[in-house]
Each structure stands twice: as structure tokens, then as C-alpha cells.
Amino acid sequence: MIDLSTLEKRKTFLTGFKETLSEKFKDMDYNVFIFGSFVTDKFKPDKSDIDVAVFCKDVRVGVKISNFVEKYCSEVLAIDCDVLLIDTGMDAFVDIDACTSRYKMTDYFPVDLQEYIANLAIKRRDFYEFSDNANFLYRCELERRYSS
């Protein structure tokens, strides 16, 4: 089992993992993003998992990569691995966190993925603004009803 006790040790693991991926999936257009506590000081070796997102326009290849990543993390790291397959046809706010991570395993980041993430960020901002306004209006209504 690999020592994952410090961020530097996890970064060293990611360097080797990047090389393993590039050997296993040569000449393919894909990217693997590592995000969440694994790439922060909040990671707890006995409790935390590793969060991974896979993007590939060819879904079959994306599934192969996802399965490989999950098996590799389970066998090599002996920790749980949450793998999500990014589908630009479905809006998932978690994709923003994944794709904006500094820990990308390849340089593949096509324009359509960039546009998808940018549009998601706008939708997330609008959603939270709406939520904040809705909560404020709800509180005002409650105050109006029950203040007399």
C-alpha cells in the first residue's frame, strides 16, 4: 500500500498515475481529473476516498478508463474511488469542480468541454442567486405574516 499521509506524497502518486494512464491509453483523446480532498490537506488516509472524473467523447473508451481507474485505485491505493463519467449532455454542477481542478492527467480539454463548464458555471451562479433571493423573499413573507 502506498503512503498517502501528505499532500506531497499524493502528488508523487499522481505523477506515476499519470504515466500509467498515458501508457495504458496511448493516442486517445481523454482526460482524467482528480479533485476533492485527495488533492488538499483535508485528506484523511483512513477515512477519505479519491474523487475522479473522466471525460472522453467516445463513451465506450470513457467507461474503459473509468473501470481501469477504479480498479487501479482499489488495488494500488486500497481506498475507495468515486469515479464519475462526464457527460456534456447532462448538467451536473460537480463537473465544474472536477474540470477546474489543477490535477489533470492529460492536456486534452476540447473547446466543447470548456464551453460546457463555462455554461454550467453560469447556471450554478444563477441557481444560487435565485435560491438566495427565494430564501430572502420567503423570510420576508414569514416576517410579514408573523410580526403582527
The domain locations on the chain are 7-108
Residues 58-81, mean pLDDT to the nearest whole number: 95
pLDDT of 137 strictly over 70:
no
What pTM was estimated for this model as a whole? 0.81
Residues 100-136 have pLDDT tens digits of 889 999 999 999 999 999 888 888 777 777 666 666 6
Of residues 2 and 67, more confidence is placed in: 67
CATH 2.40.128 fits 7-108, yes or no: no
C-alpha torsion angle, residues 86, 99, 67, 14 (rounded to 10): 180
pLDDT tens per residue across span 28-66: 999 999 999 999 999 998 899 999 999 999 999 999 999
Q: Please calculate the CA angle 124-129-130 and round it to the nearest 5 degrees.
A: 95
Higher pLDDT, 76 or 122: 76
